[in-house]
Every structure is written in structure tokens, then in C-alpha cells.
Amino acid sequence: MIFRVTESMKYGSLTNSLSNIQVKSTSLMEKISTQKNINRPSDDPVGAGKILNYNSTLASIDQYQNNITNAQTWLSLTDTNLEAIKDIIAEAESAAMGATDDTMNANAAILSSLIDEALSLMNAKHGNSYIFGGSRTDVAPFSTTHISSSISNAITSTANKFDGTVTSGGAYTGTENKTYVVKIIDGGTPASLANVSYQISTDGGKNWGATFGPTSDPPSTLDTGIITLGDGVNIKFDDSAATQDLTADDLFSVKAYAAGYYRGNDDNLTVQVNKSNNYAYNITGSEAFTATNGPVASASLTTGTGENLRENDTVILTRGATVDSWTLTDHAQYPSMKIVSTSATEIYIDVDGTGADIITLPLSGQWSAGNTVSLSITGGTPGTVFSTVEVEGPGTVDLLGTLYALKAALEAHDENAVAAQIDDLKDIQTQVLQAQTEAGAKASNLDLINNNLTALNEQITSMKSKIEDADLDKLIVSYQMEQIALEASYNLAAQIGKMTILDYLR
């Protein structure tokens, strides 16, 4: 079959060719103008997808580096304030060492000024956030007066189903500030142990302990509506006016504060520095300025098999004015428990007064009057009971406590007490230096992470450029060729436009 090529078909082919050349020319001009190979997904769907992924990665890197910059600013302020506090400690030590009977009153006045300066630095802020308060950045971490241990009111989550009354109670015996959280696993009524079980967190809900319930060890006390959280803290439920029982995932929290000047916590502040890494960058006032990381005690059973250590209890020992003057609180579970002997390095405790079971508490570090040891006993199988004994002691030196004690010693013209505080000042100087060293190490780590992110940014940018960026020389040559073709097409189109009927009759 023979097809006849009409003039109309020739004209249509010419206009289509002209249109295509115009589109290519316009596209080339756009690429030259933007210097990009891909200006819309239709230019290269596969390449456009890769560029979107690269842009997402680059945006994440930018956010990580902004996070690092903020953390480094925080650490820089931390270092500055720690350095200033070291200077204050040095001035206090100088005032103590240079004190004579004639200058003690004047030096006590100097201490008052130094205490005010120290408090200002310990409550330093970055913007509206307190630097040394742990995660409690909205509350001044240090007070001007020594505060007794305390327990906050119980707080219920707004998402809770249980609508009864929840109260906190007890007397906190811990040596650091904590936030206890109770999470209900299997619900029920507080007065009935049919199904109720729960978990406890001592760090604000970051980590959870074992599940306790009606048959757990230690046994639940929910039959009385009370859950024991630890360190003398408990929480009590009253469902007398409730319309909803305790329900799975109900949450209740209680804050407990150790005696002292500190009202922050030991929690870390973190920033995301890569897809799966949150970096802790702060230094808490607890570790830098309080007595939470110093002298320690460890327990061991030196006589007997633990036969008489069957009941759960917490034993509190308090140091007196001298190294051998420790006292022991009374305990319902161990009414006959008593201290047998003490020394600067060990405490011997008779569990039942018979000498059958003796607990030895080796001590290390520098202990001061009023320091306490918390010995938690979990009753269990004889001979293995000490695998679950926990011992907590105070830290090295409390900065404010030491400064106030030195001021009082100067005012009293007590040379021996002044001399004792000089040793504590040396220890707290070392303690603050250690915190400053840790801050420096964190800043260096962040520098390293930031350098790695910069290198990754350059690599991703290069990969993106290979796909997205145009070769201008090549584009210009292609554009010039398209212009020649376009000009020829225009000339041909112009000739077609001049044709008359006579051209078709020839």
C-alpha cells in the first residue's frame, strides 16, 4: 500500500519539530540560568529522588550541628563558672590559712561575701535555664539555707484512668534528689490485690525495675493502698470516691529531696548529635558542689550465714563528731540490731544481739559529722542475702556546707575547726577541678563529632552536586546547536508561510 504524504502532514511535522526544538532550547536556557541539571522532578525522576534524600540528610546534619553549638555554649558557660568558683575556694582557703585571733572577724565577713558570690555562680543561667540543676532547669538549684530532706506531693499523669486520691508519705533517707515514678502494669482496686501489679523507676521514668505484685518479693502492700518506693518514700491510694480503678499504664510520680542546699537533680541534659545518639552535655550541681560522690561504704557478712536477715529493712547510720561515734536508728524488723564497734575505716553491726550474724561496713574517703550511711537489706535465702544489700554514703565535700562551717569557725575563733575546714576546701577544689575536666572532655568530644558531621556534609554535598549541578560548557554548546536548529526551523516555517496556491500548481 502506498501512502501519500500530503502538504498538511509536512506542515504538521515541521511545527512539531519546531515545538520540540523550542522546548529543548527553553530547557537548556533554564539549566544555564539555574546552573542545575534538575529543576523539576520530570527532568530526571530518579535523580530528583536522590536529591530529596540528600537534602533531608543535609538538613539533619545542620540540625545536629546547631544542637552541638548550643551544647558547646552551655559547656563554655559551665567551664567559666567552675573556674570562678575555684577562685572563690582559693580565696576562702587563703582567708582560713591567714586567720589569726585578731583577723578572724574580718575574715568571717570575707567568707560572707564569698558565699554570696558562690551562690550566684552555682545558680548561673544560660538564657532562662539554670546550668547546674540537672534537668530541673527552671528552678534555682541551690538555696541560701540548709533544707531538711523532703518529699513532694504525689503527681498523677493527665492520661490516668484512676480518679481516686493519691498521696505521698514517709521520711526520705536517700543521699541524692530523686524522682520516683510508679507505672501500673495490671490494674485493679488498691483495696483488692486481684490483678494489681506495678513497676517503679527511681530516675524519673528513664529506667524501670522489676514488676511487683501480689506474689512478688518483696510482697506488694497494695492491700493497704500503699506502695513502698524506696529510701523511706511511699505512695498511698484511696479509691473510696473513685469511679475508675487503677488501670494499666497509669503513672504516678513523687520527688524526693535529700537534706542539704541542693534542689536540682542528677539527670543529664542531652542533645541529638546523629540519628541514633543523644549526647549528655551538662555537669550537675550535685556532682560538682555537693556530697554525693565521695566517701563510700560496702557491706559484707563476716560472721554467720545471714540466717537472721530475713526481713526487708533500711538501716541508717549517722556519724557523730568523732570517727568512732556512729549511731544506729531503731528498726521494727531488727529490734536487737546494734553497733558492736567502730573505727575510722570499719563499722561492725550485730544483727540480732547474739553475735551470730555480724555485718561489716568498710569505709573509705573522708567522713564528716552528720554524714549518713543507708544500708538496705532485702530478706531472702540464708547465705545469699548480701547479694541484694545496697549501701549509700555521702559524697566528698559539700561546698556551701564547708563555706558556712568555715565562716562559723572564724566567728567563733575556733582555730581547730578552721584548720579542719581547710582540708575540706582542698578536697572541694579537687572536686570542682574534676567537674571542670569532665566539662572540657565533653566539649572536646562534641568538637570531634562536629568535625565528623562537617566531613559528612561535604561528602553528601559532593554526591548531590554530581547529580544536580550542570556542566555549563556542555550546556552552552548544546544550546548553541539548538539555536542553529531553531533558526533553521524558523526560516523553513517562514518559507511555508509565503507559499501560495501557485506553488502547489507547479
Residue 101, C-alpha cell as written in the block:
585571733
Taking the C-alpha atoms of residue 135 and residue 460, their distance in angstroms, rounded to an integer, is: 35
pLDDT at 232 > cutoff 50 = yes
pLDDT band at 251 (very low <50, low <70, confident <90, very high): very high
| Burial (Cβ within 10 Å: 0-12, 13-18, ≥19) of residue 38 | buried
Region 226-249 average pLDDT: 86
Going 41 to 47 to 53 to 55, the CA torsion angle's sign is negative
Would you list the DSSP string of 141-168? SEEEEEE--EEPPPEE-TT-S--SEEEE
Whether the Cβ atoms of residue 230 and residue 176 lie closer than 8 Å to each other? no
C-alpha cell at 343: 573505727
pLDDT at 78 over 80: yes
pLDDT at 395: 46
DSSP state for residue 314 in the 8-state scheme: E
- Banded pLDDT at 502 (limits 50, 70, 90): low
Top-ranked range on mean pLDDT: pick from 57-66, 237-246, 340-349? 57-66
Count other C-beta atoms under 10 Å from residue 75's C-beta.
23
| pLDDT higher at 92 or 330 | 92
- Is the per-residue pLDDT at 265 higher than 70? yes
- pLDDT confidence bin for 57, thresholds 50/70/90: confident
Q: What pLDDT sits at residue 62?
A: 94
Q: What is the pLDDT of residue 27?
A: 60
Q: Are 227 and 220 in contact, with CB atoms under 8 Å apart? A: yes
Cell, residue 492: 523553513
32 has pLDDT over 70 = no
Q: What dihedral angle (degrees, nearest 10) is formed by the CA atoms of 18, 20, 26, 32?
A: -120
What is the average pLDDT across 356-362? 81
CA distance 72 to 421: 35
Instruction: Express as a percent the part of the chain with pLDDT over 70.
Output: 72
Q: CB-based contacts of 495: which residues, under 8 Å, 6+ apart?
A: none
* The 3-state secondary structure of 79-143, one letter per residue: HHHHHHHHHHHHHHHHHHHCCCCCCHHHHHHHHHHHHHHHHHHHCCEECCEECCCCCCCCCCCEE
Cα diameter, the chain: 137
271: left (phi over 0), alpha (psi -120 to 50) or beta: beta
- β-partners of residue 364 are 296
**Residue 387 pLDDT class (50, 70, 90 cuts):** very low
Average the pLDDT over 173-190 and give the result.
84
In this predicted model, what pLDDT tens digit does every residue of 369-381 receive, in sequence order?
667 777 777 766 5
Q: How far apart are CA 96 and CA 416, in angstroms?
A: 11
Give the C-alpha separation, 231 to 314, whole Å: 7
pLDDT at 119 over 90: yes
Residue in the block written with cell 552535655: 281
Question: Which pLDDT belongs to residue 383?
Answer: 45
pLDDT of residue 3: 55
Averaged confidence pLDDT in the chain: 79
